[in-house]
Structures are given as structure tokens and as C-alpha cells.
Amino acid sequence: AYSPEEGTHAADLDGQVDDGLVAERLAELRELQDEITARKRDELIGREVEVLVDEPGTARTHREAPEIDGVVGVPEHLPTGTFATLTVTGALGPDLEAR
């Protein structure tokens, strides 16, 4: 999303986009991104992925960044801090399940 930065030339330009239109455009982009994310996640079902276990039951592939992306649900017995190669068994929103 766009936020005007104090002291920048662009923040003082005429013709700023109305906040309502900004919100509408952002919602439209989020919806589009959700569709792309779902399609890409579904393509991973049945494939092997390498994950790094963050904590019992939770891991990440090279695709997920902490705090902004989904996670991979993994078996609880996998030790934290280890890598494992697992098969993706499901996807829900930005998250994957792997066994």
C-alpha cells in the first residue's frame, strides 16, 4: 500500500488518490494475490519439499518468510532446527500440510 512520506516531493503533489479509492484498489489487489497464492499452493500438493522446522508442528520452505507468509504444518516429532524432506498433502490459504 502507498503512504505519503513527509518531506518527499510526491507527498505534496496535486491529484492525490482519494483514500476510498486507495482502499478499493488495495482490496482488489489482495483478492487477486489470494487467487494466485491458492493456485500456487495447490500446485505443490503431492510434491516433495524441503522444510526447516521452526518449532514442533511448524516449518517453512524457502518460499515462506517469517511473519508475512504461511507456514507448513509438519509432524510434531520433527526436531526444531532440523531440515526434513516431506510430501505436501494439503493446502489451506497460505499454509501447507506435509508428511
Predicted local distance difference test score (pLDDT) of residue 51 = 98
Q: Is the pLDDT of residue 1 over 80?
A: no
Q: Kindly give, in sequence order, each residue whose CB lies less than 8 Å from that of residue 89, ignoring residues fewer than 6 positions away.
A: 45, 97, 98, 99
**pLDDT band, residue 2 (cuts 50/70/90):** low
Predicted local distance difference test score (pLDDT) of residue 3 = 76
CATH of domain 1-99: 2.40.50.140
Predicted local distance difference test score (pLDDT) of residue 93 = 82
**pTM of the full predicted structure?**
0.73
Element (H, E) at 54: strand 48-55
Cβ neighbours of 86 (radius 10 Å): 20
**pLDDT band, residue 79 (cuts 50/70/90):** very high
Average pLDDT over residues 60-81: 93
Predicted local distance difference test score (pLDDT) of residue 67 = 82
pLDDT digits (tens, 9 = 90+) for 11-60: 888 988 898 999 999 999 999 998 998 899 999 999 999 999 999 999 99
